Amino acid sequence: MKTIALLLSICFLFSCATVTGKREEEQGPAPVAEEYYGNAVAMIDRGDIAGGLNQLIQARTADPESEKIRNKYEETVSRLEISIRYDRTTVKRGRPIPGPLTCRITYRTEEKKNPVTGMEVRFRFIRGHGILTDRATTDDMGIARCYVERVDGFEDSVVIEAVPLLDTGKKTILILNMSRRFAFTEISILDSPHRVFVSDIGSRNGGLDVLKLCTGLKRVLEENGFTDVKCTYEKDAELTGRALALEEDAVVALRQSGSETLILVTVKTSFISQQEVDFFVSGADIQVRFVDPAGAAGYGNEISARGAGPTRDRSSLQAVDNALDLMINDIDSYLKELRREYGI
């Protein structure tokens, strides 16, 4: 009898466990989703919009088929509004952007717009790169602040994106339809691209003197704080000459981007005389012109110098060196004046 009673007890317990398991299986995630949903409604009613949305995300995760939960989430998000404020300052490479970039998030009711507290906002560079506050949380005024500590690299603009997000710890949702962008299009003249084009006209030595001149021009620009300088040896001296004369089609043909300042240089060497067996005299004429992104002429000059050497080629090289020294000194003075003018 004891054995029979024990068996009946085991069967009863197993049967109960099976029935309970079946009921939980039949109920599925609905009770959990309803709990999250109830918490969300209560939070939203008392003004905790960020907390309520996080609860709705968890409710949708528990029961993704629930139309009620989806509608409440979409209706709540549709009442959110975002505005941004920032100072459209001139951006300088290696420097911070003054002041914070601010996002204000509000929740619209029938009566007024209330600040949303405790909502996270993600910030990131869309154009350019550097160091910034990548996440910030809205305060009691609904404001999230991003501080840009340094801008390291960019071409013709810097753009930073702000996107509100919901983070449950297990899942992160970006509210992409509320993304906003901070655009900085004023770039410091020191960081705007400067492209040097050098051409030689009738040089005997295959452009070796031109390479040295190109390097010297690049160096003086960098010593004056210009950070984006590239130098190109342009074989088509006629094209460079026409660009020097500000012929629009020639300037367009050389320019690679609309933000470039072109520095156009032509060098022409000429043999003057042989005064001894090993004493030659040559001359060098260098023309240079800066052309700004709008196609207008900036600095321009023409320098002539002579040089002597034991061979014709050596005298030519010396003439270019002498003209280069004069040109570099003149450009250096111009750049220092330009920096004073811009206060940099």
- Domains, the chain, ordered by start: 31-67 (no CATH), 81-184 (2.60.40.3960), 194-342 (3.30.160)
- Cα distance between residue 321 and residue 306, in whole Å: 9
Between residues 11 and 60, which one has the greater pLDDT?
A: 60
Structure tokens at 321: 């060196």
Element (H, E) at 151: strand 148-153
CB 81 within 8 A of CB 106: yes
**How does the average pLDDT of the chain come out, rounded?**
86
pLDDT at 23 over 50: no
CB 23 within 8 A of CB 42: no
- Residue 269's pLDDT is 86
pLDDT at 208 over 60: no
pLDDT digits (tens, 9 = 90+) for 65-124: 999 999 999 999 999 999 999 999 999 888 999 989 999 999 999 889 999 999 999 999
Structure tokens at 293: 């992104």
Please report, as a single letter, which amino acid is at residue 225.
Answer: G
- Residue 216's pLDDT is 86
- Cα distance between residue 272 and residue 206, in whole Å: 19
- Residue 210's pLDDT is 66
Among residues 260, 205, 268, 206, the alpha carbon closest in space to that of 231 is found at: 260
Q: Which residue has the tokens 């459209």?
A: 88
Angle (CA) 142 145 151, round 5°: 160
Provide the 3-class DSSP secondary structure of residue 194.
strand
